[in-house]
């Protein structure tokens, strides 16, 4: 369901951003206070999101508390990017993991080095993995997330490739009644 798909270290880390650390998201990578994976039968609307190099269109999204949304995400940038739903704290907590993937050669500017990911998994017990609140896309890639939003949460969508979040590649999610 999820696709794994400026500066070399920045783009390379985008490829890792398919999950948040367990402490940031809670059990089974479910997004902690960010909501939970949704069911297609409960989708109330579809929102198209386009990722460019260091920004998103749209830049902000307003949703209803408890709403289930299908996001169709396309990467029209030249670098790997991520669309990750979470709290600002969860995105910051994920940064060291993303940097580790860059440091081990798993993430490259415009692709995921899957051979290096396998080697890292074998040697460290940690490699590429999916999370239902995130999609990581190579240039030209498209992915989908179906997500049910909580009530009363401070959320954003962001790219956790090293340097991208710090450069402003994040958008606000506003939840209304």
- Name the strand (E) or helix (H) holding 144: strand 142-148
Closest by CA position to 154, among listed 177, 175, 138, 133: 175
- Name the strand (E) or helix (H) holding 82: strand 81-86
Average pLDDT, rounded, for the chain: 81
CATH topology assigned to domain 8-176: Immunoglobulin-like (2.60.40)
> Does residue 57 register a pLDDT over 70?
yes
**pLDDT tens for each residue of 161-174:** 899 999 999 999 99
The neighbour count for residue 93, using CB atoms within 10 Å, is: 17
> Does residue 149 register a pLDDT over 80?
yes
Confidence of residue 156 (pLDDT cuts 50, 70, 90): very high
**pLDDT tens for each residue of 4-18:** 333 333 333 333 333
Task: Give residues with Cβ within 8 angstroms of 119, minimum separation 6.
Answer: none
Q: Residue 63: what pLDDT?
A: 97
Q: Residue 30: what pLDDT?
A: 39
The proportion of the chain whose per-residue pLDDT surpasses 90, expressed as a percent, equals 53
Average pLDDT over residues 33-50: 96
- Return the beta strands (E) in 14-117 as ranges: 36-37, 45-52, 55-57, 60-64, 68-75, 81-86, 107-108, 111-112
Cα distances (Å, whole numbers) of residue 91 to 24, 109, 154: 8, 20, 12
User: What are the domain boundaries of the chain?
Assistant: 8-176
Query: What does the block give as tokens for 84?
Result: 């990750």
> Does residue 128 register a pLDDT over 80?
no
């Amino acid at each position: 369901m999820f696709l794994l798909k400026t500066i070399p270290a920045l783009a390379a880390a985008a490829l890792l951003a398919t999950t948040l650390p367990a402490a940031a998201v809670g059990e089974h990578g479910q997004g902690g206070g960010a909501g939970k994976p949704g069911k297609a039968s409960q989708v109330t609307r579809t929102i198209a999101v386009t990722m460019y190099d260091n920004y998103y269109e749209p830049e902000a999204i307003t949703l209803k508390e408890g709403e289930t949304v299908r996001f169709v995400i396309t990467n029209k940038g030249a670098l790997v990017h991520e669309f990750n739903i979470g709290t600002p704290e969860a995105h910051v907590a994920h940064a060291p993991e993303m940097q580790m993937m860059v440091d081990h050669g798993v993430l490259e500017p415009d692709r995921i080095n899957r051979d290096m990911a396998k080697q890292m998994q074998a040697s460290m017990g940690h490699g590429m993995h999916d999370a239902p609140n995130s999609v990581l896309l190579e240039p030209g890639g498209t992915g989908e997330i179906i997500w049910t939003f909580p009530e009363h949460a401070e959320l954003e969508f962001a790219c956790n490739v090293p340097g991208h979040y710090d450069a402003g590649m994040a958008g606000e999610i506003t939840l209304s009644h």
